[in-house]
Structure 1
Amino acid sequence: MIIKKGLLFLLPAIFFRMTVFGQTASPESKIPPLLQQFGEKFPQEKVHLHLDRNNHSSGDTLRFRAYVVNAQNNQFTDLSKVLYVDLLNSQDSRVIELRFPVNDGGVSGWVALPDSMERGTYTLRAYTAWMRNFKPELFYHTSLKIGNPANSKQSIPRETKKTRNDELHNIQFFPEGGDLVNGITSVIAFKAINNTGLGEDVSGTITDESGKILSNLQSSFAGMGRFNLTPTQGHSYEAHVRFKDGVTKKVTLPVALTSGYALAVNNQDKANVIIQVMAGGLKATEPVWLAAQANNKLISLTKLDLSNNQGSISIPKRTLPTGIVQFTLFNNLSEPKAERLIFIDRHDQLRLNAGTPKILSTNSVIQIPIEATDQLANPVSANFSVAVVNRKTPVDSTTLTPSILSDLLLTSDLNGYIEYPNHYFKSREPQISLQLDNLMLTQGWRRFIWKDLLAGKFPDVIYPAQTQQTLSGKIQTGKGSTLPKQNVMLVSKGDSAFTIRTVTDSKGRFTFNLPDLQEQHQFSIIASTDSKDINIILDQFAPADSTGYVVKEELSNYPAQSPTNQAHTIKNGTRQLSEVVVKSKKLSATEKAVAPSANFNGAGNANQIITYKDLNHCDNLEICLEGRLVGVYFRIKKDPFSHGYTKVPYSTGGLNKPMLFVLDGVPIQPGQISLNSIPAGNVQSIEVLRSGSLIAAYGLAGSGGVLVITTKKGGINYNEMDEPEDITVTSTPGVINFTYNGYQKYREFYVPKYPVADRTKRNSPETLFWNPVVKTDDRGQSVLEFPIGADVKNIALTIEGISGDGKIGYHYQEYAIK
């Protein structure tokens, strides 16, 4: 669910140099220090989640191991210590939002999927606060299919990329290097999509304006392919394309430049990358420069003199890192003229292997040995996450959730949605290497753009890297003026009560560094000021919901009022302190929630409204409502039914009488039931009535105030989460009350010890084994051990991990159990 804050002042020398000498500074003097500064000031992080399995059902627990690494070397990050995990529905709205502590670059976590979750395809997203300063496309994303036994007859739609109507059956062409130049033969790659937005097989021809066929066109994988073309002055070119479903299109190819540069890169040689630079329509009297960089680190900058308007260079692959490398051609004025991405595979990652399973007949336990080695077959001692699932039918591993290899080395550095990224790592066949190169030609580098970098357009750093949980915001007047040097206090309520004090800075901002908090906590922020018109605004942390990622079927169910998903604005200074007004930008959701209410004053006519959205993470109504209901306090009394203690709500103007409960239209006298006897998950809305005009309708029984409680009636997508929005409450001057969601508690994966007699009497779960931290010993070995039922005929094993020096390991294997 990645960053911004003023770091531009850290680069004065760079900006001065670019501004004063920008017209004359050569690439040799400008590019290396500029890219070095960018890499040092804006280090990039990547996140990968290894999931226990691909498909889940409502009510399941999704388990994962998160790997958070430095993008330059894939070593575990020491920058961020907090990870955010969101689940988005088909409308790109967050339905679940969690945070986890990161230790040594990793964390094991889980996501509880509500029973009410709709059947469909969702997006799981993970990121750090620091990553928010850059493009949201850099977040970890993957699609999840989630079923619901209650509506199992509905099919889950195929995952599709988002498209508009005018994009249906579309094909785009990408000249190598960026442009066609007259008189120069260039490779032109293409990407064809169908009406689902996914790649579509196509065939066709390339013709000139007279209809003469110059080349054939045929896709090879995911709608991508390539052909060669030598454009000439005065001619135009068209592609005549036939899609697999019979649709035909005629598309004009990009117009060739009369003068310019072209790049031709040969990445098929085993030892070297051979790059040819050509100039057309101009006299190349000045040298050009070819820069190679990966993950914001400059690898080489080579000067080329283009005699006869062409030149070439051979770069040994051993000098390039495994992953995506970006080549950019600059003229002598440091202007980028052509660009090309390639993928380098030095075969230097970890080798993971799993041995033959062995079933111990004495206790129905299966054992599988695993081994980790480096590229030279030396043993590797490291931590790995391991999942074993009950595979009823064989599955093509290329269709699974992106592996740690394809994610960290490929998709995390490319623009757009990548279909079947695991496909490019399943073998080293020349055909797959060529298909991967087609992907490089049609997808764009996405971490920065050279033109922006050279023009001084650096990211604004708003979100600093988090080393612990924090709460931040600002204090300002109703007119928006800042209030610096104001004392601010954070007060924690409940069993773990504590107080933190701070002072606003020159911009009226404050930050509280929190202790390690788990689950929900009730907080108040109090500003000490004599001003009568104050706004306390908590930072809206959750990023924009829209991902542009894939279309998924609808889900929804989450939204606790917390600083992580809403920016709370408390406007104070009113004289009518006893009156509460809640204003929301999206009233329709609240109106829907209260529509079936039996409120005698009419649905929604209340001093305050609490909906099912506010109670999403609530297990205990008394705890959830205490501190949230304005003008209401709670007293501890003995419960006559449980003989324990319960909290009873009282209105501040209620003549010392407990509030009346009205449950689905039935008045219930105080003491007959407790709030905790009403399951929070069944509540659709709670209307708080405290004003005399509102409680009058309930007579003497309601003179202490009324809580109108309406349980869920259906007809609402209870999972849907609204867009983040400010909530304005008129209350006590300088005070804000809210709920904060701390770290998610870790749950161990339960592995039962079944005796032999039970082995044939049970249905095995889909996830048979999950261990997020399996450590190989000094010999690089470990043994997996778990019980297995007689109904299990086939299993699939997945191992993922990273060594201390940043080498990535992935292994997938299916077994038939006999």
Structure 2
Amino acid sequence: MISRKILLIISLLFSFGFAASAQQDSIPLNTLIQKTAKFQSSYPIEKVYLHLDKPYYAVGDTIWFKAYVTVEKHQPSGLSGVVYVDVINSQDSVMENLRLPVKNGFANGNITLTSETYKQGPYRIRAYTNWMRNFDADYFYDHTINVGNAIDNQVNTFISYKSSAKKGTVKVDADILYKDPTNAPYANKKVSWQLVRNGDAITKGSGRTDDKGHLLVDIPENESATITSSSLVTAIDMGERKSVTNSFSLRGAVTAYDVQFFPESGQLTNGIRSKIAFKAINSKGLGTDVKGTVTDDQGTVMASFTSAHLGMGVFVLTPESGKTYTANVIFANGSTSTYKLPRVQAMGINLAVFSPDADNLTVKISANELFLQRKQNKSFYLVGQSGGVIYYAAQTVLQNAAYTANIPKNKFPTGIVQFTLFSSGGYALCERIAFVQHNDQLNLALRPDKPSYTTRQNVRIAVSAKNSTAPVEGSFSVAVLDDTSVPTNEDSESTILSNLLLTSDLKGYIEKPNYYFNKPDQEKQDNLDILMLTQGYRRFSYEDILADKNPPIFIAPEQGIEVSGILRTTTGLPVGKGSIRLLIPDRNFSAETVTDLSGNFKFSNVVVMDTSKITLSARNNVNGKNMVISVNGELYQKLTRNPNQPDEIVNIDSAMRPYLDNSRRQYQNSRVLKEVVVKSTKFEKKPSHNDFGTFAGLPGQADHEISGDQLKDCPLLINCLSTMAFGLTYVDNNFYITRDYNAGKKVPVQIYVGSMPVDVNFLTSMTGAEVASVEIFLKDGVSGLNRMNQTNGVLIINKKVIKKEKITLAQLQALIPKQNVVNFAIQGYRKSKEFYMPKYDVTKQGALGVDLRNTIYWNPKVITDKNGVASFSFFNSDARGTYRVIIEGLDAEGDLGRQVMHIQVK
């Protein structure tokens, strides 16, 4: 496929109105094309997109999703056979890590938001393959969801802020409204509060709510950076020695704005009329409307501007060398600010892109007089690439100040196109990204069998998938939502179109990404072009490609789970041609392999579920009792800051009220009162750090504790601790205190099993069933453990007490681990549940209680046949109104499709 593209590209050279050059170039254009094609074929771009059943959730819900793993032009990927899905909380701790098998580019799974693990707040869902981990994590699938809690929440809150600046510091006042689940205010309640940053209280205070449930918190003056990186933690007194704690991020508490200016092609050049895009954001990172003027250093107004969409806009300026330009900005609240525009270059060449009509792009190259004088008769290259593949290339000799080329859009696929102007030496002079939006999405049609329905009635929907008029075989996922309980802003959604075509190729936050694909028109296309002017595209570097500087590959594409290691003698020498046997007892599976001359062994495509254990044995070798098996550890993806923080909701109780009200009714309807039998109990002392003199100086109570019940089903302790150790971050086979790690202090936590200090590798041999509790100390008190071990923080694993019994010598020998036999658990594939679909008999509608589902139906495996046809059916709930039916997917050629339909339920 790549070779055909190269031939097509070369055939296009010199055909777009550029003059041919007869001179010898230092780097021929063909070399640039061939090296880029070689790079693309050696380092294909793989992407992951998750179709989630809903835009937000509540504690107790299940997240249903389908993973689309694509390569090149969005074809289903055969490169990777495994996809990873992480759930990360707002403290940048991994809550869950799923490993799913990928078949023909697709996988499906689910995540249960249990009340023991999940609390109300924002979470990230991140997805990637091992191959993607070789490259920038900014291109992973990374989506923010907000989770409410209607079951355990006794207190609903709404917070608003007022701020004012005072001589380098900021003063913030917070107004918090407290209400009960019935929307009645908590009046005259005592509330204590503290300002917390990196786990430490900066200041504290207390107050009482008024008769309408409001509490005014007067936060003392402090530096803006301190305030915005802190949280306001409150505890409202509920009586009977009970209180409810709420935490509010102050990231958006300070009223502040920022405006950035982006000259087209990257620079302002003397005498060249240029477009300048701008982007204005507030302290939450969201776009804010602005208007203003641009003046030169004499105060003359040179341009005026007004934002067009989400704080973004564009204006035109012809800059002059030696002058400075200032933007005078007026924000929506009436405040003003000034910003210096980038410095004007005395000599340069610019690249501009226009879209004069639906079928063509116009590329204009403009050189100023000084550049023309110095570079006249020099060769230049113009290259247009999308997804790492060059679709357009031309060269010219610089003879005039301006060149224009009209390029048919049909030469590029739908998506981002990067135009780069090169010198003949291969140096990139300027770049511009544009978006080509063809009307080439799959034509998906949903045809319900009736014009409207009643509650609990069976709905049958036929699916038709066509590429233009030709039927296609494709793989799709379908979600049906109750519009009343799950109101949705379609512009803000992450869809298969907005992700694979836009956000997966851009760094940074994109606000309301589906706006550009939801019923697109000329205005949205114009705003999309402004977005292209304000965002960066850096999938790869031409400079590195031309220098044959390839990215380091430290993880190969993963087709399945691998178990590998090395076999040595007890003296440390590798054992070549040694026999290794692998056993998975609960699957009644076994396999054998032979080590290479260096003692290395590997088992490929091992099917291990998340609760399975593995046994490796070298007993069958001659002198096998003197052999030692070492197993290679697994790599874990590093954590990065949330790129989509602006999508986090502070006031979840109000923003998600319809959904949470319905969730509360579901819970109340499903509760069954059970008989309670009170029996006398005998207090049993639990193992703790107080049992060991080593920990005498530690605080009496740990900062965080994980109970044995939470870990009882954990097959591999290290995997579970890496996600459940609250306050700690697990990176590079070490635990760190999260607040210190984020502040740049990368000193690991000391781990103990009982009173024995161990490293992380020791935990790979332990299961959760062995653990009575885990205690986490963020400070070591007066114990001196941090100083003694050169560590920061203490993690203590208390093992369950084994009842002492007399055993025989044979039983004792059986307990002693054998070095030539290794028992361990690895992260297996997560078992996927089936979405529950009730089946109703319309003659017995009242037999099963009230049905309040908000996800009415979920199906990740809707497959159209060779005629492009499929169908699915489901039963409605008891909710009346409109249901939203969403179908997304793609065919084998990478053609994408999405369709939304509404049905009426009366």
TM class, shorter-chain normalised?
Answer: 0.7 to 0.9
Q: How many residues align?
A: 667
With over 3 angstroms needed to count, the CA separation of the structure-2 counterparts of 1:688 and 1:771, relative to structure 1, is closer
Q: 1 CA distance for matches of 2:250 and 2:551? A: 27
Q: 2 CA distance for matches of 1:428 and 1:815? A: 23
Cα deviation digits, residues 322-354 of structure 1 (max 9, x gap) = 111110000111111010111111211112233
Q: 2 CA distance for matches of 1:264 and 1:770? A: 46
Q: 2 CA distance for matches of 1:447 and 1:677? A: 41
Counterpart of 1:522 (choices 590, 613, 618) is: 613
Residue 165 (structure 1) shift: 11
Q: 1 CA distance for matches of 2:504 and 2:903? A: 31
Q: 2 CA distance for matches of 1:470 and 1:144? A: 32
Cα deviation digits, residues 502-535 of structure 1 (max 9, x gap) = 53676x8654324212122234567999999999
Q: Does the alignment pair 1:543 with 2:629? A: no
Q: Match of 2:525?
A: 433
Residue 133 (structure 1) shift: 0.8
Is the 1:163–1:197 contact (alpha carbons within 8 Å) kept by the matching residues of 2?
Answer: no
Cα deviation digits, residues 292-347 of structure 1 (max 9, x gap) = 11111111210123332221111111111111111000011111101011111121
With over 3 angstroms needed to count, the CA separation of the structure-2 counterparts of 1:80 and 1:114, relative to structure 1, is same
Q: Match of 2:284?
A: 196
Is the 2:383–2:394 contact (alpha carbons within 8 Å) kept by the matching residues of 1?
Answer: yes
- Superposition pairs of residues 129-208 of structure 1, within 5 angstroms: 129-148=130-149, 149-151=151-153, 153-154=155-156, 168-208=256-296
Q: Which residue identity does 1:66 align to in structure 2?
A: A
Q: Match of 1:332?
A: 424
Residue 404 (structure 1) shift: 0.5
Question: Per the alignment, in what secondary structure is the counterpart of residue 794 of structure 1?
Answer: strand
Question: Per the alignment, in what secondary structure is the counterpart of residue 234 of structure 1?
Answer: coil
Q: TM-score, normalised by structure 1?
A: 0.73
Q: Match of 1:512?
A: 603
Q: Match of 1:721?
A: none
Q: Which residue identity does 1:65 align to in structure 2?
A: K
Structure 1 residues without counterparts, runs of 5 or longer: 1-22, 555-593, 629-661, 663-675, 696-700, 706-729
Residue 358 (structure 1) shift: 4.3
Q: 1 CA distance for matches of 2:138 and 2:487? A: 28
Q: 1 CA distance for matches of 2:458 and 2:259? A: 53
Cα deviation digits, residues 585-626 of structure 1 (max 9, x gap) = xxxxxxxxx998385446969xxx9x97697985558x879x
Q: Does the alignment pair 1:373 with 2:466? A: yes
Question: Per the alignment, in what secondary structure is the counterpart of residue 520 of structure 1?
Answer: coil
Q: 1 CA distance for matches of 2:73 and 2:608? A: 32
Q: Which residue identity does 2:105 align to in structure 1?
A: G
Counterpart of 2:831 (choices 728, 745, 750) is: 745
With over 3 angstroms needed to count, the CA separation of the structure-2 counterparts of 1:616 and 1:218, relative to structure 1, is farther
Q: Match of 2:86?
A: 86
Question: Per the alignment, in what secondary structure is the counterpart of residue 802 of structure 1?
Answer: strand
Q: 2 CA distance for matches of 1:156 and 1:776? A: 47
Q: 2 CA distance for matches of 1:491 and 1:381? A: 40
Question: Per the alignment, in what secondary structure is the counterpart of residue 768 of structure 1?
Answer: strand
Q: 2 CA distance for matches of 1:677 and 1:450? A: 49
Question: Per the alignment, in what secondary structure is the counterpart of residue 470 of structure 2?
Answer: coil
Q: 1 CA distance for matches of 2:607 and 2:413? A: 38
Question: Per the alignment, in what secondary structure is the counterpart of residue 304 of structure 1?
Answer: strand
Q: Match of 1:231?
A: 319
Is the 2:593–2:602 contact (alpha carbons within 8 Å) kept by the matching residues of 1?
Answer: no
Q: Match of 1:108?
A: 108
The answer to which structure, 1 or 2, has the higher relative contact order (CA under 8 A, 6+ apart) is: 1
With over 3 angstroms needed to count, the CA separation of the structure-2 counterparts of 1:367 and 1:204, relative to structure 1, is same
Cα deviation digits, residues 615-646 of structure 1 (max 9, x gap) = 7985558x879xx9xxxxxxxxxxxxxxxxxx
Counterpart of 2:358 (choices 248, 251, 270) is: 270
Q: 2 CA distance for matches of 1:599 and 1:312? A: 79
Is the 2:433–2:533 contact (alpha carbons within 8 Å) kept by the matching residues of 1?
Answer: yes
Counterpart of 2:842 (choices 732, 739, 756) is: 756
Q: Match of 1:574?
A: none
Q: 2 CA distance for matches of 1:320 and 1:740? A: 44
Cα deviation digits, residues 563-604 of structure 1 (max 9, x gap) = xxxxxxxxxxxxxxxxxxxxxxxxxxxxxxx99838544696
Question: Per the alignment, in what secondary structure is the counterpart of residue 741 of structure 1?
Answer: coil
Cα deviation digits, residues 387-443 of structure 1 (max 9, x gap) = 001121684543443110111111111111211110001133211111100111111
Is the 1:474–1:504 contact (alpha carbons within 8 Å) kept by the matching residues of 2?
Answer: no
Q: 2 CA distance for matches of 1:779 and 1:153? A: 54
Q: Which residue identity does 1:518 align to in structure 2?
A: M
With over 3 angstroms needed to count, the CA separation of the structure-2 counterparts of 1:475 and 1:437, relative to structure 1, is farther
Structure 2 residues without counterparts, runs of 5 or longer: 1-23, 161-228, 230-248, 651-684, 697-701, 721-753, 755-766, 776-795, 808-815
Cα deviation digits, residues 516-559 of structure 1 (max 9, x gap) = 121222345679999999995734422111144133589xxxxx
Cα deviation digits, residues 423-469 of structure 1 (max 9, x gap) = 00113321111110011111111311222323333211111111111
The percentage of counterpart residues that share the same residue type is 33
Counterpart of 2:412 (choices 291, 307, 320) is: 320
- Superposition pairs of residues 280-359 of structure 1, within 5 angstroms: 280=368, 281-282=370-371, 283=373, 284-355=376-447, 357-358=450-451
Q: Does the alignment pair 1:62 with 2:63? A: yes
Q: Match of 2:306?
A: 218
Alignment RMSD? 4.2
Q: 2 CA distance for matches of 1:233 and 1:539? A: 59
With over 3 angstroms needed to count, the CA separation of the structure-2 counterparts of 1:534 and 1:278, relative to structure 1, is farther
Q: Which residue identity does 1:289 align to in structure 2?
A: Y
Q: 2 CA distance for matches of 1:531 and 1:450? A: 56
Cα deviation digits, residues 455-485 of structure 1 (max 9, x gap) = 333211111111111134679999xx99695
Counterpart of 1:452 (choices 525, 540, 544) is: 544
Q: 1 CA distance for matches of 2:500 and 2:146? A: 22
Q: Match of 2:219?
A: none
Q: 2 CA distance for matches of 1:417 and 1:475? A: 48
With over 3 angstroms needed to count, the CA separation of the structure-2 counterparts of 1:553 and 1:615, relative to structure 1, is farther
Is the 2:55–2:493 contact (alpha carbons within 8 Å) kept by the matching residues of 1?
Answer: yes
Residue 369 (structure 1) shift: 3.6
Deviation larger for 490-499 or 740-749: 490-499
Deviation larger for 312-321 or 527-536: 527-536
Is the 1:452–1:458 contact (alpha carbons within 8 Å) kept by the matching residues of 2?
Answer: yes
Q: 2 CA distance for matches of 1:686 and 1:305? A: 71
Q: Does the alignment pair 1:597 with 2:688? A: yes
- Superposition pairs of residues 680-759 of structure 1, within 5 angstroms: 687-688=798-799, 738-759=824-845
Q: Which residue identity does 1:274 align to in structure 2?
A: T
With over 3 angstroms needed to count, the CA separation of the structure-2 counterparts of 1:192 and 1:291, relative to structure 1, is same
With over 3 angstroms needed to count, the CA separation of the structure-2 counterparts of 1:751 and 1:732, relative to structure 1, is same
Q: Match of 1:125?
A: 126
Deviation larger for 335-344 or 513-522: 513-522
Residue 54 (structure 1) shift: 1.6
Q: 2 CA distance for matches of 1:365 and 1:326? A: 49
Residue 274 (structure 1) shift: 0.5
Q: 1 CA distance for matches of 2:573 and 2:339? A: 56
Is the 1:58–1:113 contact (alpha carbons within 8 Å) kept by the matching residues of 2?
Answer: yes
Q: Match of 1:587?
A: none
Q: Which residue identity does 1:151 align to in structure 2?
A: N
Residue 188 (structure 1) shift: 0.8
Q: 2 CA distance for matches of 1:273 and 1:553? A: 40
Q: Which residue identity does 1:435 align to in structure 2?
A: N
Question: Per the alignment, in what secondary structure is the counterpart of residue 196 of structure 1?
Answer: coil
Q: Which residue identity does 2:85 align to in structure 1?
A: V
Q: Match of 2:502?
A: 410
With over 3 angstroms needed to count, the CA separation of the structure-2 counterparts of 1:190 and 1:502, relative to structure 1, is farther
Residue 182 (structure 1) shift: 0.5
